[in-house]
Chains A and B, each alone.
Chain A
Amino acid sequence: MIDFLRKLFGGPPPSSATAKERLRLVLMTDHLALAPEMIEQMKHDLVDVISRYVEVDREKIEVNFEQQDKALAMLANIPILSVNRPSGNGDAAAAAAEEPPASPAVAHAAGAPPVRRRRRRRKAGAPAPAPSS
């Protein structure tokens, strides 16, 4: 009854709720800090999944955890080398075969943002075929 009225009148949450929340977050951070092998493993698995779609720079991956407002956030910085599927992938070869072969120049130009094609785009800086003049 009183609790109901309290809710009705509003007011700040009791400090025990704040304590509970702080405890939850601090322990999550503690446990992460205590489990570096787990984070390494997670990084590894993460890259494996992402690598199915894009080629990433395994050496430069950074995974950090920080407290954002009411949650612990995982921030992953994963440099993408190329959006091509890794070579030897049967799907990629099949997809390429669906469309008529384009000139290397067109393929490179497709790296510019406004061009929308069904073709898999390459990013500048990625090992792309040299533009032909």
Chain B
Amino acid sequence: MHVRQAHEENNAEYEAQPQAGAEPVKRGRAIVITSGKGGVGKTTTTANLGTALAQRGASVVLVDADVGLRNLDIVLGLESRVKYHLLDVLEEAAELDDALVRDKHSENLHLLAAAQAREKDEVDTEAMCDLIDELRERFDYVLIDCPAGIELGFKNAVAGADEAIVVCTPEVSAVRDVDRVVGLLGNAFRPQLVINRLRPALVKKGKMLSVDDVNAILRLPLLGVIADEPEIIVTTNRGEPLALRRDEPTGAAYHAIAARLAGEDVPAPMPPEAKESFFERLGSLFGGKRS
């Protein structure tokens, strides 16, 4: 014992574990998924990234911080299993373990749903930080689905996180809002970018901002690009995230983003380039309307 203590003192700077024999305290990553603007795909991104990370073997909890507008449970197909919600836990009306809903498809993926009939200003910021800290001790990843806006709901969602993923669509308004949110977050959150709902055919025709156009302005580390696929709507209808299907290009893209998030050196996924026939191009040259 004395030897051990002396050893610890000598190596105080090098040893990460505080106590001999004690379980090392897990320190998972708390990542907020935010965007400023609503409707760009924060919840879909959260559900799919969580699914992809869990499929990789990590333990993941998804926290729906959009109090009053609960949606993450729907996207995951867990709406019928939610008994208690975030505010129940924060107000100690329910135990955390009773409020965590295990995912249907991935057993190491859990959801802490938002309260539907409550309001965002009922969340106590300090209690939220404590809860996220507690979750970090139990899970490898705590993904926090942030509400739209930059008011209290945003502040509470961000408070406990130490990293951020910003979701942006290739639109002027979305880029502007992300720019603002990144300004509010500051460098401490090391925000990384997911470009969502890109339509390669429109980019090719010059009718949509390209990945380079968006990131020439935002200048953020790019996690990946997700195409605007009808399949995402179908999977949301069913409550089965597309990331469950790695054979689909978009499912694979979510897995690549998850790999990058985990620190793997894989290229940022890009949607396949649009193919346009020669006649289509000729048509757009002569009579095609460009709007």
> Does B bind A?
yes
Are B176 and A15 touching (Cβ within 8 A)?
A: no
Are B207 and A6 touching (Cβ within 8 A)?
A: no
Quick one: which of B213, B282, B286, B291 has the most chain A CB within 10 A?
B213
Q: How many residues of A contact B (CB 8 A)?
A: 20
Are A30 and B180 touching (Cβ within 8 A)?
A: yes
Q: Mark B170-194, 1 if CB is under 8 A from A, else 0.
A: 0110011001100100000000000
Q: Pick from A6, A16, A27: contact of B213, CB below 8 A.
A: A16
The CA-CA distance from A24 to B172 in the complex, in Å, is: 9
Q: Mark A23-52, 1 if CB is under 8 A from B, else 0.
A: 110110010001000000000000000000
CB distance from A27 to the nearest CB of B (A): 6
The CA-CA distance from A88 to B92 in the complex, in Å, is: 73
A2-B281, A2-B285, A5-B285 given as contacts; is B176 within 8 A of A16 (CB)?
Answer: no
A5-B285, A15-B291 given as contacts; is B206 within 8 A of A30 (CB)?
Answer: no
Which chain B positions have C-beta within 8 A of A12?
290
A119 interface residue (CB < 8 Å to B): no
Are B180 and A16 touching (Cβ within 8 A)?
A: no
B217 interface residue (CB < 8 Å to A): yes
Number of inter-chain CB pairs below 8 Å: 51
Are A16 and B207 touching (Cβ within 8 A)?
A: yes
Q: Pick from B209, B285, B286: contact of A19, CB below 8 A.
A: B209
Are B179 and A30 touching (Cβ within 8 A)?
A: yes
Are A14 and B172 touching (Cβ within 8 A)?
A: no
A2-B281, A17-B206 given as contacts; is B175 within 8 A of A11 (CB)?
Answer: no
A14-B205, A16-B213 given as contacts; is B175 within 8 A of A23 (CB)?
Answer: yes
Are A16 and B217 touching (Cβ within 8 A)?
A: no
The CA-CA distance from A22 to B173 in the complex, in Å, is: 10
Are B205 and A26 touching (Cβ within 8 A)?
A: no
A20 interface residue (CB < 8 Å to B): yes
Are A27 and B217 touching (Cβ within 8 A)?
A: yes
Which chain B positions have C-beta within 8 A of A6?
285
Which chain A positions have C-beta within 8 A of B176?
23, 26-27, 30
Quick one: which of B172, B180, B207 has the most chain A CB within 10 A?
B172
Which chain A positions have C-beta within 8 A of B171?
19
Q: Pick from B208, B217, B282: contact of A23, CB below 8 A.
A: B217
Which chain A positions have C-beta within 8 A of B205?
14
Within 8 A of A (CB), among B260-284: 281-282
Q: Pick from A15, A23, A27: contact of B207, CB below 8 A.
A: A15
Which chain B positions have C-beta within 8 A of A16?
203, 206-210, 213
The residue in chain A whose Cβ has the minimal distance to the Cβ of B179 is A27
The CA-CA distance from A83 to B286 in the complex, in Å, is: 61
Within 8 A of A (CB), among B224-244: none
The CA-CA distance from A20 to B281 in the complex, in Å, is: 23
CB distance from B169 to the nearest CB of A (A): 12
Are B172 and A22 touching (Cβ within 8 A)?
A: yes
Which chain A positions have C-beta within 8 A of B207?
14-16
Are A20 and B206 touching (Cβ within 8 A)?
A: no
28 contacts between A and B (CB under 8 A): A2-B285, A5-B285, A9-B285, A12-B290, A14-B205, A14-B206, A14-B207, A15-B206, A15-B290, A15-B291, A16-B203, A16-B207, A16-B208, A16-B213, A17-B206, A19-B171, A19-B208, A19-B209, A20-B209, A23-B172, A23-B175, A23-B176, A23-B217, A24-B217, A26-B172, A27-B176, A27-B217, A30-B180
The list of the 6 closest CB pairs from A to B, nearest first, reads A14-B206, A23-B172, A16-B206, A2-B281, A19-B172, A20-B213
User: CB within 8 Å of A: which residues of B?
Assistant: 171-172, 175-176, 179-180, 183, 203, 205-210, 213, 217, 281-282, 285-286, 290-291
User: CB within 8 Å of B: which residues of A?
Assistant: 2, 5-6, 9, 11-17, 19-20, 22-24, 26-27, 30, 34
Given A12-B290, A27-B217; 5 other pairs, CB 8 A cutoff: A2-B285, A15-B206, A16-B207, A16-B208, A26-B176
